[in-house]
């Protein structure tokens, strides 16, 4: 019989090294990325718009990059905006990596729409949903997300009379001082640009003006702006003397409060008690 042929020694060494290498090499991580947590928060809010921040943790089996998020914003069940946000977040293999992005959206367009929204009862439900795009090597995988949060519906500020004073300085002169209060019922500041006013006494227009220029009323507080007018022959007319001798006179104060996306007319009135001469 012919003896069996044996492989060269070098071939056996190569095969042995290959077997040992296969046995010792760790298996390559596989599987899709996993969204471990997600939370939708209010980053900022004012009368005209709200900014939402979606944050969470993402885990990838292998080293990868969270490249972007494609999303749509839903308000009370209706899609109001679509877009995408670039991220570029590196994901270490097997590690829980935090990420976040913001979406800013006006509540409504125009003053009338804002006034209508302010009449809405209850909170405004907002949701952000979409996909995270994860690139690993030459391939891209998507991870769906969806989170919602209720925000307080914006409320229009209210103009009220905080102080009212009338002081006599002669038989035909009374100085009227009004502290106009702007109440902000919202949990965020409200920016104002003007507070127009027109004061009438006993049915006759007296003086008018603007009580503020570019101010801000803090959350859940009241800003007070002083209005001053004189009841004299020059401002009221020749029949001012009988009026100034009375104990009280009727008055009205009308105007418009203005701000960013805001226009609120107001009308106030009552009896003005005339003080003693000074």
pLDDT one-digit tens code per residue, 54-72: 999 999 999 999 999 999 9
Query: Is the pLDDT assigned to residue 93 strictly greater than 60?
Result: yes
198 and 263 share a domain?
yes
Position 76 in a domain: yes
DSSP H or E run through 20: helix 9-24
Position 64 in a domain: yes
85 and 194 share a domain?
no
CA dihedral defined by 90, 93, 94, 95, rounded to 10 degrees? Answer: -40
Position 162 in a domain: yes
Which pLDDT band holds residue 9 (cuts at 50, 70, 90)? low
Looking at residue 31, the DSSP 8-state letter turns out to be: S
User: Which whole number is the average pLDDT over 233-262?
Assistant: 92
- Of 151, 168, 202, the last residue of a domain is 151
Range of the domain at 238: 158-273
Instruction: Check if the beta carbon of residue 195 is closer than 8 Å to that of residue 264.
Output: no
Residue 48 has a pLDDT of 84
pLDDT in tens, 252-272: 999 999 998 889 999 999 999
112 and 171 share a domain?
no
Residue 31 has a pLDDT of 79
Q: pTM of the entire structure?
A: 0.75
pLDDT in tens, 27-64: 555 679 999 999 999 999 998 889 999 999 999 999 99
- Of 151, 172, 191, the last residue of a domain is 151
Give the number of other Cβ atoms within 10 Å of residue 98's Cβ.
11
Residue 113 has a pLDDT of 81
Beta strands per DSSP E along 115-172? 124-136, 139-151, 158-170
44 and 103 share a domain?
yes
102 and 66 share a domain?
yes
β-strands 158-170, 173-184 pairing: antiparallel
62 and 144 share a domain?
yes
117 and 198 share a domain?
no
57 and 88 share a domain?
yes
């Amino acid at each position: 019989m012919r003896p069996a042929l044996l492989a060269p020694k070098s071939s056996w060494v190569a095969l042995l090294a290959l077997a040992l290498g296969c046995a010792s090499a760790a298996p390559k991580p596989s599987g899709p990325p996993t969204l471990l947590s997600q939370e939708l928060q209010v980053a900022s809010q004012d009368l005209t718009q709200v900014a939402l921040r979606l944050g969470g943790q993402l885990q990838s089996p292998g080293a990868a990059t969270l490249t972007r998020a494609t999303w749509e914003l839903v308000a009370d069940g209706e899609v109001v905006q679509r877009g995408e946000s670039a991220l570029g977040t590196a994901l270490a293999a097997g590690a829980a990596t935090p990420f976040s992005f913001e979406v800013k959206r006006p509540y409504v367009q125009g003053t009338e729409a804002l006034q209508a929204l302010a009449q809405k009862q209850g909170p405004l439900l907002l949701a952000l949903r979409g996909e995270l795009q994860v690139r690993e090597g030459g391939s891209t995988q998507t991870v769906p997300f969806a989170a919602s949060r209720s925000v307080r519906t914006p409320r229009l500020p209210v103009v009220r009379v905080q102080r009212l004073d009338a002081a006599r300085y002669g038989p035909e002169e009374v100085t009227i001082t009004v502290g106009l209060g702007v109440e902000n019922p919202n949990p965020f500041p409200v920016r104002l640009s003007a507070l127009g006013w027109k004061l009438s006494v006993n049915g006759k227009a007296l003086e008018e003006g603007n009580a503020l220029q570019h101010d801000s009323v803090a959350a859940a507080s009241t800003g007070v702006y002083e209005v001053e007018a004189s009841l004299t022959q020059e401002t009221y007319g020749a029949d001012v003397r009988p009026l100034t001798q009375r104990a009280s006179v009727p008055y009205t104060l009308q105007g418009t409060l203005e701000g960013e996306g805001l226009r609120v007319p107001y009308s106030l009135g009552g009896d003005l008690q005339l003080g003693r001469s000074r």
